[in-house]
Chains A and B, each alone.
Chain A
Amino acid sequence: MPLNRRTFIGAVVATSGVISTPMLRAQGRPRVVVIGGGAGGATAARYIAKDSDGAIDVTLVEPSRAYYTCFFSNLYIGGFREMNSLGHSYGTLAAEYGINVVHDWAVAVDRDAKTVTLASGGVLPYDRLIVSPGIDFVDGAVKGWDVSAQNVMPHAYKAGSQTELLKAQILAMPEGGTFAMVAPPNPYRCPPGPYERVSMVAHLLKQVNPTAKIIVADPKANFSKQGLFEEGWAANYAGMIERVGPEFGGGNVEVDPVAMTISIDGDVNRIDVCNVIPAMKAGRIAQIAGITEGNWAPVNAHDMSSKMDSNIHVLGDAAAQGDMPKSGYAANSQAKVCANAVRGALTGSTVFPARFANTCWSLIDTDNGVKVGATYEATPEKIATVNGFISEIGESAELRAATYRESIGWYEGITVDIFG
């Protein structure tokens, strides 16, 4: 397969001089600009470049040179993954797929002129724009916390240095200390993520600081895979984890990063580590582009096009699309539908009907994996659930171990599908 691609690129170079200058060729090709190099954006860029065989000029705008996946970053906290195993470069997308990877911030979108402006001042014209910027945090969502406090009270909900900071803080906790988490309200990135994190923090503390405590302030009455997590916590981390739901004021929270306290429904607790995961919204560029309604960017289900602008598509966490959870798997799935539609619109290739799927694996303890998944279809109103499944309470240790092994295989598979 790579050999074929190289052969193809070689052929383009060899013939371009004969037919026309490379510059003229580039100008003649339809242009797609993708903002955001995560599970949605990188997948879309790769599929458009791959399937159009060079007929579409693809530019990917992503500030980071190495992308650390948020999925599986909890396993780094638990000690099951090294941080560098979560990092992915854009070298293959550039070298093998001919994608123009620009490491810069997109700071403006001119929808009339159809251009994207970069922080460096560069301007990128587009025929279609794909916006996949992930999440930002809602200002003032947690009293006492803003982004300037993230080095004291990390969110660790964009993977990388934040995740490393959180783990370092946990390892530095005094014996018998307290780890607090402020869980986010719906909707947010990775619904089981906070609870997998609680599991991984408990796993780590059980080894290095077994008398430590975990307290979770949660504004939600219920959460993803709740029965499975609660079963796992009772079996593996008995007496360690206390979750305060909304019925006991879990949604009425204030933090003080200077005093290192958390107040839950007026009850002030001294804590040693505080992981604040605030309410979320679409990444900032979606708001700048004027394609959001409230916190998210509404899209049409059949091609992920913005309801505000048919030349713009929105993928992943930033999109308000209906029933799919905000997950890397979902973004990857949406990206392939979007890539097929964009390619069809720009080159006349066959557009197949949209179909979506998602599966989320979570790790509760060593060799104790669980999963939840569903398939989805496009309706005129939204992306709608077709069918689904969830791991069962009381599964055998063998099945849970198999599920964990499967999740590792999935990570390898999806990151190849995203980054090439």
Chain B
Amino acid sequence: MVFQRLTAFALIGLTTATQVGAEAGGDPTRGEALFRQCSGCHQIGEGAENRIGPQLNHIFDRAAGAVEGFRYSNGLSRAAAVGLAWNYDTLDAFIENPRTLVSNTRMSFRGMPDQQDRDDLVAYLRVFSDSPMNIPEAAPTARAVDHAVAPEVLAVVGDPAYGEYLSGECTSCHQKSGASDGIPSITNWRAEDFVIAMHAYKDGVRAHPVMQMMAGRLSTEEIAALAAYFERIDQKV
């Protein structure tokens, strides 16, 4: 993947700025139309200002949570602190489903499931970034991995009793009370959110090394068991 990105960067260096959008496989004109789904909260282009969401100029290669004057959610600030930066892969994953990357983000966007739509939207965002890097060359050779959690994985019904045993690994850091100073709360999440977040760590899409390690050896069933337990932790008798 890294090699591909480097290759892509070298190729981009050889092309003119106007050709880049097409090389990336996205259509910025179509992306502009898709951006209407975003423009209720985000501005982009000359004179763009922070509104409900931050302005999106120069988003490529910028650290997450870095727009001056914008108050980010704790979730996004935390993701930023452990190294989330915006590039083709992370924007693609975030637009597909914001919860994949950032739990409890205030960005209440249902997500954009279609890969071509996302490519077009990212191509549009890219028009407003200088010297954009980290954008793969044309499809399909360098397409980002699909970050969606497969429906059959989401459909696994977890055993809360097994989840309670496994939760011992979580409660060495995360508190059952839901207290969230320094270490985020993991209680009472919707099971689906929990599963998406854990698979994102397991697949290395989310950056945190402890969580990548812990999630890395959890099976689909074990993640579902934990999700089932933590979703109803307060209702346990």
- Stretch in A84-92, A248-256, A368-376 with 4+ CB within 8 Å of B: A368-376
How many Å from the CB of B160 to the closest CB on chain A? 13
Which residue of chain A is the closest to B167 with respect to CB atoms?
A336
Q: Is there contact, CB below 8 Å, between A412 and B179?
A: yes
How far apart sit A355 and B164, CA to CA, in the bound complex (Å)? 13
Say whether, besides A4-B237, A412-B182, A374 and B213 are in contact (CB < 8 Å): yes
- Give 1 or 0 for each of A1-45: 1 = CB within 8 Å of chain B CB: 100100000000000000000000000000000000000000000
Q: Is there contact, CB below 8 Å, between B182 and A410?
A: yes
- Stretch in A215-223, A230-238, A261-269, A401-409 with 4+ CB within 8 Å of B: A401-409
Pick the contact of A386: B80, B175, B176, B217 (CB < 8 A). B217
Q: Is there contact, CB below 8 Å, between B173 and A336?
A: no
| SS class, residues of chain A in contact with chain B | helix
Q: Is there contact, CB below 8 Å, between A387 and B217?
A: yes
How far apart sit A412 and B182, CA to CA, in the bound complex (Å)? 9
How many Å from the CB of B58 to the closest CB on chain A? 19
- Give 1 or 0 for each of A363-397: 1 = CB within 8 Å of chain B CB: 00000000101110000000000111101000010
Q: Is there contact, CB below 8 Å, between B165 and A352?
A: yes
Chain A residues near B166 (CB-CB < 8 A): 352, 355
How far apart sit A406 and B183, CA to CA, in the bound complex (Å)? 6
Q: Is there contact, CB below 8 Å, between B176 and A375?
A: no
Pick the contact of B169: A333, A374, A387 (CB < 8 A). A333
Check if B181 is an interface residue, CB within 8 A of chain A. Answer: yes
Q: Is there contact, CB below 8 Å, between B176 and A47?
A: no
Q: Is there contact, CB below 8 Å, between A409 and B168?
A: no
How far apart sit A417 and B177, CA to CA, in the bound complex (Å)? 11
Q: Is there contact, CB below 8 Å, between A405 and B182?
A: yes
Chain A residues near B177 (CB-CB < 8 A): 1, 416
- Give 1 or 0 for each of B163-194: 1 = CB within 8 Å of chain A CB: 01110110111111101111100000000000
Q: Is there contact, CB below 8 Å, between B168 and A336?
A: yes
B: interface residue count bin: 20 to 34
- Give 1 or 0 for each of A291-333: 1 = CB within 8 Å of chain B CB: 0000000000000000000000000000000000000010011
Chain B residues near A51 (CB-CB < 8 A): 164
Check if A359 is an interface residue, CB within 8 A of chain B. Answer: yes
Which residue of chain B is the closest to A374 with respect to CB atoms?
B213
Pick the contact of A399: B82, B175, B181 (CB < 8 A). B82
How far apart sit A412 and B174, CA to CA, in the bound complex (Å)? 9
Chain A residues near B209 (CB-CB < 8 A): 371, 373, 389, 391
Say whether, besides A340-B165, A375-B214, A375-B217, A406 and B182 are in contact (CB < 8 Å): yes
How many Å from the CB of B19 to the closest CB on chain A? 34
How many Å from the CB of B168 to the closest CB on chain A? 4
A: interface residue count bin: 35 or more
Check if B234 is an interface residue, CB within 8 A of chain A. Answer: yes
Q: Is there contact, CB below 8 Å, between B210 and A409?
A: no
Check if B216 is an interface residue, CB within 8 A of chain A. Answer: yes
Q: Is there contact, CB below 8 Å, between A417 and B216?
A: no
How far apart sit A355 and B171, CA to CA, in the bound complex (Å)? 14
Check if B162 is an interface residue, CB within 8 A of chain A. Answer: yes
Chain A residues near B81 (CB-CB < 8 A): 398-399, 401-402, 405
Q: Is there contact, CB below 8 Å, between B181 and A359?
A: no
Q: Is there contact, CB below 8 Å, between A350 and B161?
A: yes
How many Å from the CB of B180 to the closest CB on chain A? 8
Q: Is there contact, CB below 8 Å, between A389 and B172?
A: no
Which residue of chain A is the closest to B180 with respect to CB atoms?
A409
Pick the contact of A357: B164, B169, B180 (CB < 8 A). B169
Chain A residues near B213 (CB-CB < 8 A): 357, 373-375, 387-389
Q: Is there contact, CB below 8 Å, between B212 and A413?
A: no
Check if B83 is an interface residue, CB within 8 A of chain A. Answer: yes
Q: Is there contact, CB below 8 Å, between A413 and B161?
A: no
Q: Is there contact, CB below 8 Å, between A1 and B234?
A: yes
Say whether, besides A373-B213, A402-B81, A406-B182, A413 and B168 are in contact (CB < 8 Å): no
Q: Is there contact, CB below 8 Å, between B173 and A409?
A: yes
Chain B residues near A1 (CB-CB < 8 A): 176-177, 234, 236
Chain B residues near A391 (CB-CB < 8 A): 209
Q: Is there contact, CB below 8 Å, between A414 and B168?
A: no
Chain B residues near A359 (CB-CB < 8 A): 172-173, 210
Chain A residues near B237 (CB-CB < 8 A): 4
Q: Is there contact, CB below 8 Å, between B175 and A412?
A: yes
Q: Is there contact, CB below 8 Å, between B183 and A409?
A: yes
Sample (20) of A-B pairs whose CB atoms are under 8 Å apart: A4-B237, A47-B168, A51-B164, A333-B168, A333-B169, A350-B161, A352-B166, A357-B214, A359-B210, A373-B209, A387-B217, A402-B78, A402-B81, A406-B182, A407-B182, A409-B182, A410-B182, A412-B175, A416-B176, A416-B177
Of all A-B residue pairs in the complex, the 5 with the closest CB atoms, nearest first, are A409-B182, A409-B183, A402-B81, A336-B168, A389-B209
Known: A333-B172, A357-B172, A373-B210. 8 other contacts (CB 8 A): A1-B176, A336-B169, A357-B213, A375-B214, A402-B81, A407-B182, A413-B171, A416-B175
